[in-house]
Amino acid sequence: MSYDPTQHPGPIPFLTRREMLRQTSTGFGWLALSALMADKAYAGVSQSLAEGPLAPKAPDFAPKVKNVIFCYMSGGLSHIDSFDPKPRLAAEAGQPMPFQTERTMFNQDGNILPSPWEFTNYGQSGIPVSALFPHVGSIADELTVIRSMTAPFMEHAQANFYFHCGMPFTGFPSMGAWITYGLGSDNQNLPGFVVLGSGGIPLGGVNVFGNGFLPAIHQGSLIYPEHALPLHNVQPSESDASQRGRLSFINDLDDGFLEQTNGHAQVEAAIDNYEIAYRMQTAVPELVDLAGETEATKTLYGLDSPNASTVAYGRQCLVARRLIERGVRFVELTMVGTDGMGQAANPWDQHTKLEEGHTANARTVDQPVAGLVKDLKSRGLLDETLVVFSGEFGRTPFVQGTNGRDHNPMGFSLWLAGGGLKKGFIYGQTDEYGYRVVENAHTVRDLHATVLHLLGLDYTELTYRFGGRDFRLTDVDGHPIRGILA
């Protein structure tokens, strides 16, 4: 009774939805109907009619949030330079670490390196944020900062897979895939799990957004907000009139085949996909077209910044808001490289030149991501959205080489903003050097369980049978971080 991919949905003996549509549309014609459904006034009709694999599903219990925006700081943002101040590092600058440390990636471990940035206590909550993130500081009272994250993987690709899929290698579904599998999406004209691809793909490649063993509909679709072709194959090569003529022709011939197969559900679904595909051709370009946004909004997101990477990331943040406004379930943003072109896979990876690199990266994301939270709040969307801001691990308190930091997965920070959380709240603690977690340690799987929980999904029940086993995102050991729940 679990979902079993080997059990195909056989022919349906009763009146199919399609036949019903055809009959009730009184000869109005399929394309006319689909055009009608594309109209916003009929959007509700269109969505309730779509019984596809992405049709919205009820959560297990009352959700706190409906959608997720995941800002991935690929490469490993240094927690001790951003959200976890450690005065002791300044006091013991240049001295050796007082205890034995773990093996690092590059084995060029030096002495204690204090943070080059001052911390300021922001807002009523007084959450300290470093000078890297003044804009994020200004939304401190919206944040839930977790300073006690851990990951068992030291290298990027494994940690990226783990952060996305709960496993350190390919073959497993990404968080966004699990969530659309569990909840579907509220918009059938756009993918349910969107990755905004103007930044770099994290190391490990596109598989980190993969569907793993889940049906392919759940994999992250890369949408390039700045690209002439924002989604693969979404641009028709012909005029709308020609394409309508083509679709009408195809549909007429398909009808005969559908009849021949006794209205086989798979054939019918394949026919229906052309309706959705047709609508996606309009929905996607409309999505990335920011002409309708006010100047004030654009400024809020940093789109007027002289810095190209800030503009690129700002556009991602703004498109992310537009996506969740349209009911898309899960949006992931990719980290843009400092040149603004963003092909770098792991911009935060400052093994050298920490100060230079982190300054540039923070400048890229600080204003846009803070603008996103503010904009969501002012539109009343923040309560039903979860914003996750994290890298795959943190960085060492001791120097690598002369001016870098190596990877540190034994303790790092992330922040969340959105519904269902204690706001202006700091949770968990690392030791005085920011090296290991000493209080409320949580794994990334706990974060996954938390995200599912906030979405109203029972994380133990969101399972899929594959290769003889029921899998779940949190495997057998992730649990919601209850200490941060409001």
Partner 1 sequence: MSKTSFRGCVGFMALVASASVLVVRAQQPVVEHSPTAEQIEFFEGRVRPVLAEKCFQCHSSRTSTPFGGLRLDSRQGLLTGGDSGPAVVPGQSADSAIVQRVQGRPVLMPPTGRLDDDEITALIQWVDMGVPWPVATASDDVPDPSAPFDLPQRKQQHWAWQPVQVAEPPTANDSSWSGTAVDRFIHAALEQQSLTPAPAADPRALIRRLSFDLRGLPPTPAEVARFVSDASPEAYVDLVDRYLASPRFGERWARHWMDLFRYSESHGSEGDPDIPLAWRYRDYLIRAFNADVSYDQLIREHLAGDLLPAPRLNSDLQLNESVIGTGHFRLVEHGYQPVDPWEDRVKWTDNQVDVVSKAFMGLTVSCARCHDHKFDAISQKDYYSLFGTLYGARPTQRAIDAPSVLTKNKEELASLKKQVRAKLADVWVNSTTATNEALLEQARVTIEPESETFNSTGIRSDGTLVEALRELGQASDFTATWNELQRYWETEVETRQAFNNEHFDVAWDLSGFDYEATVGHGVGRPDVPSAPGEFSIERRGDLLLGGIYPGGAYTHLLSTKHGGVIQTPRFQIDTDHISLRVLGGDLSFAQLIIENYAVPRGGIYHLRYSPKADRMTWAQWDTTFWKGFTAYIEFATQEDVTRFQFDSEDTSLTNRPTRRGDGRSFIGASQVVFHETDETPRDTVLPVLHMFEGAIPTSLDELTRQLSGQLKGVVEAWRDGRLSEQQAVFLDEFVRADLLPRRLEDLVGLRSLVAEYRLLERDVPVARRAPGVVEESAPDQPLLVRGSHKNLGDVVPRGYLTAVSNERYPDPGQVRLHLAEAVTAADNPLTSRVAVNRIWRHLFGYGLVRTVDNFGRLGDSPSHPELLDYLADGFVNDNYSVKRLIRRLVLTKTYQLSSSVSPESTEIDPLNRFLQHANLRRLDAEAIRDAVLSISGRLDTTMYGPSVPVHYAARRGLTEGDPDNGPVDGDGRRSIYQEIRRNAHNPFLEVFDLPKPATTRGQRDATNVPAQSLALLNSPFVIGQAAEWGQRLAAGEATSVDNRITHMFLKALTREPTDEELTRVTEYVRAVATDHETSPDLLMYGAHVWQDVAHSLFNLKEFIFIP
Three-state secondary structure string covering 92-158: CCCCCCCCCCCCCCCCCEEEECCCCCCEEEECCCCEEEECCCHHHHCCHHHEEEEEEEECCCCCHHH
- Cβ–Cβ < 8 Å for 437, 150: yes
* Chain residues 28-57 in contact with partner 1, contact rule CB under 8 A: 52-53, 57
167 vs 426: CA distance, rounded Å? 27
Stretch that binds partner 1, among 110-118, 149-157, 383-391, 394-402 (CB under 8 A): 149-157
331 vs 195: CA distance, rounded Å? 6
Under the binding rule (CB under 8 A), the answer on residue 104 touching partner 1 is yes
Q: Residue 25 half-sphere exposure, CB side, CA atoms within 13 Å? A: 17
Q: Which is nearer to partner 1, 50 or 381 (CB)?
A: 50
Position among 73, 112, 146, 217 found at the interface with partner 1 (CB under 8 A): 217
174 vs 165: CA distance, rounded Å? 4
Residue from 385, 408, 448, 406 nearest 163 by CA: 448
Q: How far is the CB of 458 from partner 1 (least distance, A)?
A: 5
φ/ψ of residue 70, rounded to 5 = -115, 110
Under the binding rule (CB under 8 A), the answer on residue 483 touching partner 1 is no
Helices and strands in the chain: count of H runs, count of E runs: 13, 18
Q: How far is the CB of 113 from partner 1 (least distance, A)?
A: 20
Strand order in the sheet with 394-400: 109-112, 394-400, 404-408
Q: How far is the CB of 227 from partner 1 (least distance, A)?
A: 11
Under the binding rule (CB under 8 A), the answer on residue 253 touching partner 1 is yes
Token digits of residue 217 = 């509909």
Instruction: Give, in order, the Cα–Cα distances in Å from 339 to each of 75, 97, 132, 198, 227.
Output: 16, 35, 18, 12, 17
Under the binding rule (CB under 8 A), the answer on residue 438 touching partner 1 is no
* Chain residues 296-355 in contact with partner 1, contact rule CB under 8 A: 343, 345
Under the binding rule (CB under 8 A), the answer on residue 236 touching partner 1 is yes
Q: Which is nearer to partner 1, 103 or 294 (CB)?
A: 103
Q: Which is nearer to partner 1, 321 or 407 (CB)?
A: 407
* Chain residues 107-146 in contact with partner 1, contact rule CB under 8 A: 107
* Chain residues 450-469 in contact with partner 1, contact rule CB under 8 A: 458-461, 463-465, 467-469
* Chain residues 54-83 in contact with partner 1, contact rule CB under 8 A: 57-58, 60-62
Q: Which is nearer to partner 1, 367 or 450 (CB)?
A: 450
Q: Which is nearer to partner 1, 97 or 154 (CB)?
A: 154
Under the binding rule (CB under 8 A), the answer on residue 13 touching partner 1 is yes
453 vs 482: CA distance, rounded Å? 10
* Chain residues 167-186 in contact with partner 1, contact rule CB under 8 A: 168-171
Under the binding rule (CB under 8 A), the answer on residue 100 touching partner 1 is no
Q: Which is nearer to partner 1, 97 or 206 (CB)?
A: 206
Position among 43, 226, 274, 429 found at the interface with partner 1 (CB under 8 A): 274
Q: Is the dihedral of CA 47, 48, 52, 57 positive or negative?
A: positive
Q: How far is the CB of 479 from partner 1 (least distance, A)?
A: 6
